[in-house]
Homo-oligomer: A and B are copies of this chain.
Amino acid sequence: MKNKKHNKLKILNDPIYGFIQIPNTLIFDLIEHPYFQRLRRIAQMGFSNLVYPGANHTRFHHAIGCMHLMQKAVRVLRFKQVKISDEEENAIYIAILLHDIGHGAFSHALEHSIVNGISHEEISLKFMKKLNDEFNGKLDLAIEIFEGRYHRKFLCKLISSQLDIDRLDYLKRDSFYTGVTEGNISSDRLIAMMNVKDDELVIEGKGIYSVENFLIARRLMYWQVYLHKTGLVAENMLVNVLRRAKELAEKGVELYTSTSLGYFLYNKISQENFTIETLEMFSKLDDYDVMSAIKEWTNHSDKVLSLLSKMIVDRKLLRIEIQQDAFKESYLDKKLNKVSKKFDITSEESNYFVFSQQISNQAYSTNKPIYILNKKGKLMDIAKASDQLNLQALTNPVVKYFICYPK
């Protein structure tokens, strides 16, 4: 028995952090659970690997990495005499491990197509509650913290805030796997500078430049990676192909799909009717269902579906233009007409190939600020503590517009 227990306390390799220790058997069992194993089959960055071929890392690894950084944070805070009970420690490990468990295939595409009306955070919560049942209430505190209801706010902030452990891992990880070295933040230093003051998670004064750098690096990652134009096209084409499939499904057209993907195509799922059965179906759905369906749809008789699918599979993506101002209606119409003729499809159908949207990124929000602990022991919003960088400017969301259309 002891041996078995010992066996569960194993280590995992991480190219970024070296070895990651699984802290206890409950967490080991959560990791082993099929719900969590599913994350092995969901790419952290969706179709970004079409731009950055190294970016094939999974939600699974990200979640494990978060747990590792959280262990560091606990060590640092306890070293600074912040009291964290063993129960709280365990709860924040679980909360961070499972914070993304509700992510759908290709990370974000499903939310904007076939599983809409319910966010991945809400689904994460459903999974956590279901697991809590299976594990006899051992996730109670983790859920309380995940929902932000726990009275010790700094623990909630470690799970979700503008400088949470989630961001500390994903920025570092995405930078690592894409090879965009400028996005490389020093998670280690930021954690080493963490402290707690008046139940608020703070960064000590001398960490101010690291926080600035973190915000700027995140901004860079947004524009250079997450909103990279080729990735944007691919992501939107993915959304469109799933929307088209759902449209066809609703008309009763037969489609090659796995059982779980079919469930979400042929049923209208919303927050209201998201039952345990839905959750179970969702737990079977991953990148493989979606991509294998798209591959097969390349031969479907519906022209829109097959064309879009083929473009995705062969990486013959739509052309994209990005600019600071909205595109003129007339420009869009011209493109729509052209496509309608070229492919001999209705103007409504043309919208699957020609579309315009806005994208935006707010590098920093003063709503729930990142606090700097200054020398006098006072908390200051980083936007004010920074001597010059004018971080205030970063609170204005940058908005851009793009239009996609066939070459």
Contact = CB atoms under 8 A, between A and B. Distances in A.
B212 A19 contact: no
A292 B185 CA distance: 36
Interface stretch (A108-116, A144-152, A217-225): A217-225
A146 B180 CA distance: 32
Given A13-B178, A14-B179, A224-B209, A288 B292 contact: yes
A179 B56 CA distance: 15
B180 A259 contact: no
A137 interface: no
Interface in A379-406: 387-390, 393-394, 396, 398
A40 interface: yes
A197 B21 CA distance: 22
A25 interface: no
B258 A292 contact: yes
Contacts of A56: 56-58
B13 A180 contact: yes
Contacts of A292: 258, 288-289, 291-293
Given A54-B13, A288-B291, A296 B210 contact: no
A345 interface: no
Nearest to A14: B179
Given A54-B13, A61-B53, A181-B184, A220 B213 contact: yes
Given A182-B209, A258-B296, 19 more contacts: A6-B80, A11-B192, A12-B53, A14-B54, A15-B177, A18-B188, A19-B189, A32-B315, A37-B315, A40-B315, A53-B61, A181-B186, A182-B186, A182-B214, A212-B216, A216-B389, A291-B292, A363-B388, A389-B393
A85 interface: no
Candidate in A15, A293, A324, A396 with the most chain B CB atoms within 10 angstroms: A15
